[in-house]
Amino acid sequence: MKALLLVNPASGREKVNKLVKVAKRKFEEKKYHLDVYFSKCAGDLTEKALKWAGDYDTYIVCGGDGTINEVVNGVMQSDVRPNIAVMPVGTVNDISHILGMSRNIGKNLDVIFNNKPIPTDINKINDHYFVYVSGAGYLTEVSYEADRLEKKKYGSLAYLKTGIKGLKKKPFFTAKIECNGEVYIEQVSLLLILSANQFGGMRLPFFAPQGKLNDSLVDIRVFSGRNIWLIFRLVMFILLLGRKQYKQYHVATSKATITPLDTDNVKWNADGELVATGKIKLEVIPSAINFYVNPKRVKKLY
Ligand SMILES: [Mg+2]
């Protein structure tokens, strides 16, 4: 194995240095090759992941969801695509939770050393790739507006605070959704696109009970209603573990075009970052990148 550890140092210097030290030692024991690169600024890892794609068979990404998203966007632009392993540090780690990758470095490396990586779908909004979640409207608009420092300090409380702020902003719109040969007009308060049954640290096993990370499909769910009714729907969404509620729009698709009809200002979030405004083309790229996955999670996910 010839691996490159791509590190986001913003995740905490001390923690990261310790992790690098342990990883180096474990790779030496196995007589595998490991290089280490520290990200210099936002977007740097996209550029480097593309540039060095031919030089390594594996990228180990040390950071949160945003860091993984950066690396994925670089790898997807390359014809040769290294395998990806994720090592969670930082605040938002949905992707590593989904894949069952541990915060314990030893356990994490055991998964990498003892298992084959698995071909996994990657999704695309316009020209931006994402791994597991995209959306527009209430909560999505506020999540990337939540101040990064605040996120670090208060964790999910920062989301709650911005969530309440978001109620006043009313990011409601009418959307034309074209997919699977049909056209729907929907009133949208929140539109969620998920490729796994998890979002914001919550397990939602009934969101798409048949959904897999390699079925070339993502699931789209629309929440309508406002204020108390919207909050009620969202609380029920969590309590019902993602189940579709009465008269809700839900579809599984490999391709969709979503056009906001009454505003140009709809902002789309993907893996926690702002990636597009207005009309979007959504597409699933089947089995695009091989990911290392905890063997205990494989049967459920693939
Ligand atoms: Mg899928």
- Determine the pLDDT at residue 146: 53
Interval between CA 227 and ligand 1 midpoint (Å): 31
Average pLDDT over residues 86-91: 86
Query: Given pLDDT bands bounded at 50, 70 and 90, which one contains residue 158?
Result: low
| Statement: the pTM of the whole predicted model exceeds 0.75 | yes
**pLDDT per residue over 58-71, tens digit each?**
999 999 898 999 99
- Residue tagged 């395998």 (tokens): 83
**pLDDT per residue over 185-221, tens digit each?**
999 999 999 999 888 778 899 999 999 999 999 999 9
- Are 170 and 97 members of one domain? no
Last residue of a domain, one of 92, 115, 138: 115
Interval between CA 94 and ligand 1 midpoint (Å): 16
Nearby residues for ligand 1 (ion, Cβ within 5 Å): 195, 211, 215, 217
Burial of residue 41, with CB atoms counted within 10 A of its CB: 0-12 exposed, 13-18 middle, 19 or more buried: exposed
**pLDDT per residue over 159-179, tens digit each?**
566 666 655 556 689 999 999
- Are 231 and 94 members of one domain? no
Phi, then psi, of 49 in degrees rounded to 5: -65, -35
Interval between CA 55 and ligand 1 midpoint (Å): 29
Interval between CA 198 and ligand 1 midpoint (Å): 12
**pLDDT per residue over 22-60, tens digit each?**
999 999 999 999 999 999 999 999 999 999 999 999 999
pLDDT at 144 over 60: no
Q: The domain that contains 150 carries what CATH number?
A: 2.60.200.40
- Are 36 and 151 members of one domain? no
Interval between CA 98 and ligand 1 midpoint (Å): 13
Range of the domain at 254: 128-287
- Cβ count near 218 (within 10 Å): 27
Which sign, positive or negative, has the C-alpha torsion 58, 62, 65, 67? negative
Interval between CA 184 and ligand 1 midpoint (Å): 21
- Are 272 and 149 members of one domain? yes
Interval between CA 121 and ligand 1 midpoint (Å): 7
Q: The domain that contains 47 carries what CATH number?
A: 3.40.50.10330
- Are 269 and 145 members of one domain? yes
Burial of residue 182, with CB atoms counted within 10 A of its CB: 0-12 exposed, 13-18 middle, 19 or more buried: exposed
Total tally of structural domains belonging to the chain:
2
